[in-house]
């Protein structure tokens, strides 16, 4: 028997049809000792990069393929609304074939009708370097053979052979159906001298996974699992088994066929095509380096940094060296140019999100707005010399104007060299459970039981996660569900598989070569997107710029414009404005970007004074990590001058590194500095250690660096001290935060407060106009009311389509605040000059609906201040009747300063068990006893009411009685009314009674 190679196989990129990531399919091939493997996903090449990488790790030859959807004629397809497509298997033989496949995949998306589709003409026009296998059971050839149209089949095969020459093969598969047409195929092969090739078309990897494909199909077709629909034998076969199997089915020279697969694999030599970093386009004839230098010079003058001394000089030189060596000069120039253009053209740009804030050169070029030396931000966080992937310049743009910047990039670099980026949604835990629940008809409440134990994290949050499997392992209730409904366990296999294609919210790719020569381009909702996801694309040498849209920046631009100031003045706002800092000190943070959270407020309340440094710290100290590890408490105690526990200032170098943070380690930058400046670690090692500490499972590897540490510090400190310091680095490093990121966001938050302080009218108006959530709007209104603003109701003839200032300290509501009146209708009424009810009878205007009229009529009663009904639809004073604590007077409600007995209402947004669990788990402590919240003895919940948040403590006696209600309220986000006793000095209630209300439909 000869070697067999799978020339036709599917991965999870054949969305909801096949099971197995590119890596998983390669691992299976490796276990079968394959020398080569092809990937041929349906209408998609998106798995190629990961497949290529997995193959090179496994030392298997990758064959880049594509199973196309094809019709005889695209024109006819569109004319006749032809949904039915033929499949055909295409493989890249050479680099040219690879590029042609990219082209074919791109053109298929240009002709999208239910599927990305091609026709024979299109394929033949781009035939060079492509090997064609005639296709699976859904191919044109097999259809004709099955229908007995032998002549037609031969005609088509000959046509293909004429074009593709020795690169065309007749494909058969081991399935029963193919065996039925095999004699016809044999005849065809003999008459045309086109060789036969066998493929298995695996859609999953091992025989026992067949049911998973059926699950995927059931999800795709929105139906339940049907065992009889399972497609068997569609796995990666072991060669000998396959040989025996087909030999038994049909007597043929299978040895010959097997060698054909190996020969084809041998011929395929296409490699991944890479782009190269685009060059910056400019009118000047300076080189990239000189241009960078001249731009930096301008920056030095602009910021008055001339003669700032050695620190700036050294830093500049070092950054330049790294940037040049790594080849990022053009990348940085491109980013700087985009940002410069944005700013000059009325688009407010954030201060530079994330690590780019650590670069002096980025600051000089205007990419970021904070002096990294003054603010202790490290360059190493920006360009990690240990890594090959390009640095991230993530930039927040005014959300309303972001697309203009993208357009500028297209104009400058060419529309064919700029595109949006694809992203694939994956099955996550909760989502997998929901789908499995539907597929197997498992009762919803059972699924909910399992779901509530899951802990999902998103976007770089490194804290402990609980996967579905963990859930079944640790939670007896979940286990019980699994015992009753074993099918629920199938959710585990779905986790991490792909679901659907989407467009990345912010990323844009820029290339020097036309993009369709490096990647295929898909079309989605009229947008051109890359076939590869961000990480895959950037590994091909394309650059990615994140154009994040931030509403906050649109609001701030509008506030400044409304106040008659230049948008560019925002960058000149002084960071030591006393009124602004005082407002932070007063925790006047309603509507302030990044500072509205309850934990942020709590930190602000405790700080003895506030300056910009404290604002950076505040964003960090309010994160769950520093709160749990106690560094927040110690920071504040030290700042207040009480307590010196756990400080790092016992050595001069450490004291210097922690001088701004009262001896505490709260930033990742401090970890790097200690390792570098105190223990002489190389940049590489320091960075590696920082990453290891942050990982929940990196501890062991981190400790491998201890001997180096010990050796380097032994002249400075004792062995005990070294050991102690090392452990502390580990403990505090885990929760340390990226200072660059915090500083950038503190700045945008600071701008926000500056505006609230100096342009309050404009602040409230713009905030109210942008705020879509009714709850948030009410909070803003209450905040304004507290400041003495009068809130005027929407009034026909007076109100505009947006909120407005009407005389001193008077805010007039927009007509759109009336339910049922949208912006269009409001504008119409204003344009037509409606001022009273009669106008509706007299003027016959199209576009103003009956619904709007009704709404307006109802609103006649809406006079004066905020409506009596609260936003949950329950009358505030009714709450007293419900709970009837005779001691409570209505004035007591939510008056935290005066009353002893409290009634408050809202929704539980957090339940304690998760926090306790994760804190313990991340410290490696036992989670025994808290793994079952239903058996918890008490609960601590976070209640969000209409103005703030407070803690609700449910003690063991009450919990005993209403524990399950509390869970229900939390899980279903029900509205609750809590009455109880206030705890001194805290926003906390010891609950006496909790009442649940069914969810009211909130209007949007």
Distance of closest approach, residue 87 Cβ to Zn ion, in angstroms? 4
Please give the order of strands across the beta sheet that includes 394-398: 394-398, 543-550, 498-510, 418-426, 527-533, 521-524
What is d(CA 465, CA 471) in angstroms, rounded to the nearest whole number?
10
Q: Are 637 and 646 in contact (CB under 8 A)?
A: no
Q: Choose between 182 and 967: whose C-beta lies nearer to Zn ion.
A: 182
Backbone torsions φ then ψ of 225, nearest 5 degrees:
-65, 130
Backbone torsions φ then ψ of 418, nearest 5 degrees:
-130, 130
Q: How many CB atoms lie within 10 A of CB 55?
A: 23
What is d(CA 753, CA 147) in angstroms, rounded to the nearest whole number?
75
| Residue 527 vs residues 108, 524, 545: alpha-carbon distances, Å | 15, 5, 17
Q: Choose between 140 and 690: whose C-beta lies nearer to Zn ion.
A: 140
What is d(CA 786, CA 784) in angstroms, rounded to the nearest whole number?
5
Q: Choose between 201 and 533: whose C-beta lies nearer to Zn ion.
A: 201
Beta-ladder partners of 170? 196
Distance of closest approach, residue 18 Cβ to Zn ion, in angstroms? 8
Kindly give, in sequence order, each residue whose CB lies less than 8 Å from that of residue 702, ignoring residues fewer than 6 positions away.
689, 692, 693, 730
Nearest one of 367, 165, 157, 148 to 267, comparing CA atoms: 165
Q: Are 963 and 933 in contact (CB under 8 A)?
A: no
Q: Choose between 213 and 432: whose C-beta lies nearer to Zn ion.
A: 213
Distance of closest approach, residue 8 Cβ to Zn ion, in angstroms? 6
Q: Choose between 50 and 142: whose C-beta lies nearer to Zn ion.
A: 142
Q: Choose between 67 and 516: whose C-beta lies nearer to Zn ion.
A: 67
Distance of closest approach, residue 214 Cβ to Zn ion, in angstroms? 16
Q: Choose between 140 and 767: whose C-beta lies nearer to Zn ion.
A: 140
Q: Choose between 69 and 612: whose C-beta lies nearer to Zn ion.
A: 69
Q: Are 914 and 455 in contact (CB under 8 A)?
A: yes
**In which region does residue 972 sit, left (phi positive, over 0), alpha (psi from -120 to 50) or beta (all else)?**
alpha
What is d(CA 722, CA 712) in angstroms, rounded to the nearest whole number?
10
Distance of closest approach, residue 199 Cβ to Zn ion, in angstroms? 8
Distance of closest approach, residue 62 Cβ to Zn ion, in angstroms? 17
Q: Are 272 and 540 in contact (CB under 8 A)?
A: yes
Distance of closest approach, residue 119 Cβ to Zn ion, in angstroms? 17
Nearest one of 962, 915, 434 to 629, comparing CA atoms: 915
Q: Are 456 and 450 in contact (CB under 8 A)?
A: no
Q: Choose between 133 and 335: whose C-beta lies nearer to Zn ion.
A: 133
What is d(CA 201, CA 177) in angstroms, rounded to the nearest whole number?
14
Distance of closest approach, residue 135 Cβ to Zn ion, in angstroms? 6
Q: Pairing state of beta strands 527-533 and 975-982?
A: unpaired
Distance of closest approach, residue 9 Cβ to Zn ion, in angstroms? 8
Q: Choose between 136 and 722: whose C-beta lies nearer to Zn ion.
A: 136
Q: Choose between 138 and 192: whose C-beta lies nearer to Zn ion.
A: 138
Burial of 337 (0-12, 13-18, 19+ CB in 10 A): buried
Distance of closest approach, residue 131 Cβ to Zn ion, in angstroms? 15
Distance of closest approach, residue 210 Cβ to Zn ion, in angstroms? 15
What is d(CA 384, CA 688) in angstroms, rounded to the nearest whole number?
10
What is d(CA 493, CA 473) in angstroms, rounded to the nearest whole number?
15
Q: Choose between 67 and 295: whose C-beta lies nearer to Zn ion.
A: 67
Distance of closest approach, residue 422 Cβ to Zn ion, in angstroms? 21
Its sign, for the CA torsion 339, 343, 346, 349, is positive
At 198 the three-state DSSP class reads strand
Distance of closest approach, residue 107 Cβ to Zn ion, in angstroms? 19
Q: Choose between 15 and 636: whose C-beta lies nearer to Zn ion.
A: 15
What is d(CA 291, CA 330) in angstroms, rounded to the nearest whole number?
10
Q: Choose between 51 and 872: whose C-beta lies nearer to Zn ion.
A: 51
| Residue 1004 vs residues 72, 156, 820, 855, 863: alpha-carbon distances, Å | 48, 58, 10, 14, 21
Distance of closest approach, residue 114 Cβ to Zn ion, in angstroms? 15
Backbone torsions φ then ψ of 594, nearest 5 degrees:
75, -10
What is d(CA 241, CA 263) in angstroms, rounded to the nearest whole number?
20
Q: Choose between 136 and 409: whose C-beta lies nearer to Zn ion.
A: 136
Distance of closest approach, residue 10 Cβ to Zn ion, in angstroms? 6
Distance of closest approach, residue 236 Cβ to Zn ion, in angstroms? 13
DSSP E strands in 259-382: the ranges are: none
HEC profile for 583-599?
HHHCCCCCCCCCCCCHH
Q: Are 670 and 657 in contact (CB under 8 A)?
A: yes
Kindly give, in sequence order, each residue whose CB lies less than 8 Å from that of residue 594, ignoring residues fewer than 6 positions away.
600, 619, 745, 746, 748, 749, 752
**Site residues (vs Zn ion, CB under 5 A):** 67, 87, 136, 138, 201
Q: Choose between 136 and 370: whose C-beta lies nearer to Zn ion.
A: 136
Q: Choose between 264 and 575: whose C-beta lies nearer to Zn ion.
A: 264
Distance of closest approach, residue 134 Cβ to Zn ion, in angstroms? 11
- Residue 991: HSE in the Cβ half-sphere, 13 Å Cα cutoff: 30
Q: Choose between 67 and 319: whose C-beta lies nearer to Zn ion.
A: 67
Nearest one of 350, 284, 295 to 323, comparing CA atoms: 295
- Residue 985: HSE in the Cβ half-sphere, 13 Å Cα cutoff: 1
What is d(CA 936, CA 563) in angstroms, rounded to the nearest whole number?
54
Distance of closest approach, residue 490 Cβ to Zn ion, in angstroms? 23
Q: How many CB atoms lie within 10 A of CB 860?
A: 11
């Amino acid at each position: 028997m000869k070697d067999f190679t799978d020339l036709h196989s599917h991965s999870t990129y054949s969305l909801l049809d096949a099971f197995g990531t590119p890596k998983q399919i390669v691992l299976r091939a490796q276990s079968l000792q394959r020398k080569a493997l092809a990937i041929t996903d349906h209408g998609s090449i998106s798995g190629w990069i990961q497949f290529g990488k997995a193959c090179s790790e496994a030392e298997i030859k990758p064959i880049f393929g594509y199973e196309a959807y094809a019709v005889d004629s695209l024109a006819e397809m569109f004319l006749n609304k032809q949904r039915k497509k033929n499949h055909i298997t295409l493989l890249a033989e050479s680099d040219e074939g690879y590029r042609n496949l990219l082209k074919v995949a791109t053109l298929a998306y240009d002709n999208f009708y239910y599927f990305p589709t091609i026709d024979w003409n299109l394929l033949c026009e781009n035939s060079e370097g492509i090997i064609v296998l005639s296709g699976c059971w859904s191919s044109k050839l097999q259809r004709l053979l099955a229908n007995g149209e032998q002549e037609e089949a031969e005609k088509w095969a000959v046509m293909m052979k004429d074009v593709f020459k020795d690169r065309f093969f007749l494909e058969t598969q081991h399935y029963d159906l193919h065996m039925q047409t095999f004699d016809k195929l044999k005849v065809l092969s003999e008459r045309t001298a086109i060789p036969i090739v066998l493929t298995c078309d695996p859609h999953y990897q091992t025989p026992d996974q067949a049911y998973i494909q059926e699950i995927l199909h059931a999800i795709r077709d929105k139906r339940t699992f049907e065992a009889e629909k399972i497609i068997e034998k569609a796995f990666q076969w072991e060669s000998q088994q396959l040989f025996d199997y087909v030999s038994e089915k049909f007597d043929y020279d299978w040895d010959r066929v097997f060698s054909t697969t190996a020969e084809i694999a041998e011929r395929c030599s296409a490699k991944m095509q890479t782009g190269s970093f685009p060059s910056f386009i400019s009118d000047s004839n300076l080189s990239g380096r000189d241009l960078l230098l001249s731009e930096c010079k301008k920056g030095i003058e602009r910021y008055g940094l001339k003669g700032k001394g050695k620190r700036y000089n050294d830093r500049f030189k070092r950054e330049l060296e790294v940037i040049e060596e790594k080849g990022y000069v053009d990348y940085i120039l491109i980013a700087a140019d985009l940002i410069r253009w944005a700013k000059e053209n009325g688009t407010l740009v954030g201060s530079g999100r994330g690590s780019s804030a650590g670069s002096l050169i980025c600051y000089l070029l205007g990419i970021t707005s904070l002096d990294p030396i003054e603010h202790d931000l490290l360059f190493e966080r920006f360009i990690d010399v240990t890594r090959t992937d390009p640095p991230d310049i993530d930039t927040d743009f005014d959300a309303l104007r972001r697309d203009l910047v993208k357009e500028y990039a297209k104009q400058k670099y060419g529309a064919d060299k700029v595109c949006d980026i694809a992203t694939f949604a994956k099955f996550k835990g909760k989502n997998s459970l929901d789908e499995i629940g539907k597929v197997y008809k498992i009762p919803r409440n059972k699924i909910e039981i399992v779901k509530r134990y899951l802990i999902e994290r998103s976007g770089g949050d490194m804290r402990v996660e609980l996967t579905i499997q963990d859930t079944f392992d640790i939670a007896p209730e979940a286990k019980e569900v699994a015992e009753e409904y074993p099918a629920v366990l199938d959710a585990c296999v779905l986790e991490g598989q792909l679901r659907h294609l989407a467009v990345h919210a912010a990323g844009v790719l820029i290339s020097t070569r036309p993009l369709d020569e490096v990647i295929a381009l898909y079309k989605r909702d009229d947008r051109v997107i890359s076939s590869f996801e961000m990480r895959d694309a950037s590994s091909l040498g394309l650059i990615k710029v994140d154009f994040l849209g931030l509403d906050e920046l649109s609001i701030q631009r509008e506030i400044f414009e409304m106040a008659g100031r230049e948008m560019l003045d925002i960058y000149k706002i002084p960071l030591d404005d006393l009124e602004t800092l005082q407002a932070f000190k007063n925790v006047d943070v309603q509507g302030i970007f990044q500072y509205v959270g309850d934990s942020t407020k709590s930190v602000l309340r405790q700080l003895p004074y506030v300056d910009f440094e404290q604002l950076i710290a505040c964003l960090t100290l309010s994160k769950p990590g520093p709160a749990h590890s106690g560094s927040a408490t110690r920071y504040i105690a030290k700042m207040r001058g009480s307590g010196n526990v756990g400080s790092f200032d016992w050595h001069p170098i450490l004291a210097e590194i922690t001088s701004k943070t009262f001896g505490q380690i709260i930033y990742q930058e401090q970890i790097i500095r200690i390792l570098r400046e105190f223990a002489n670690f190389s940049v590489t090692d320091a960075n590696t250690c920082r990453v290891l500490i942050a990982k929940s499972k990196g501890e062991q590897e981190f400790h491998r660096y201890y001997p180096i540490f010990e050796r380097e510090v032994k002249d400075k400190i004792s062995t005990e001290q070294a050991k102690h310091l090392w452990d502390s680095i580990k403990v505090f490093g885990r929760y340390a935060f990226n200072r660059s990121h915090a500083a950038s966001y503190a700045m945008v938050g600071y701008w926000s407060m500056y505006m609230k302080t100096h342009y309050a009218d404009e602040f409230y108006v713009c905030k109210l106009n942008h705020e879509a959530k009714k709850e948030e709007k009410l909070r803003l209104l209450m905040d304004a009311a507290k400041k003495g603003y009068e809130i005027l109701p929407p009034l026909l003839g007076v109100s505009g389509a947006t909120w407005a200032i009407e005389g001193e300290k008077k805010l007039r509501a927009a007509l759109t605040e009336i339910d049922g009146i949208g912006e269009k209708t409001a504008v119409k009424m204003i344009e037509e000059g409606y001022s009273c009810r009669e106008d509706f009878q007299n003027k016959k205007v199209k576009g103003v609906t009956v619904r709007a009229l009704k709404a307006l009529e109802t609103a006649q009663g809406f006079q004066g201040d905020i409506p009596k009904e609260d936003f949950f639809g329950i009358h505030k004073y009714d709450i007293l009747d419900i709970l009837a604590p005779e001691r409570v007077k209505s004035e007591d409600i939510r008056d935290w300063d005066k009353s002893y007995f409290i009634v408050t209402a809202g929704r539980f947004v957090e339940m304690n068990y998760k926090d306790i669990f994760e804190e313990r788990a991340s410290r490696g402590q036992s989670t025994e006893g808290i793994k079952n919240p239903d058996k918890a003895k008490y609960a601590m919940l976070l209640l969000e009411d209409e103005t703030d948040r407070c803690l609700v403590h449910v003690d063991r006696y009450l919990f005993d009685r209403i524990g399950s209600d509390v869970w229900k309220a939390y899980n279903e986000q029900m509205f609750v009314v809590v009455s109880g006793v206030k705890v001194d000095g805290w926003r906390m209630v010891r609950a006496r009674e909790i009442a649940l209300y069914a969810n009211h439909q909130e209007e949007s």
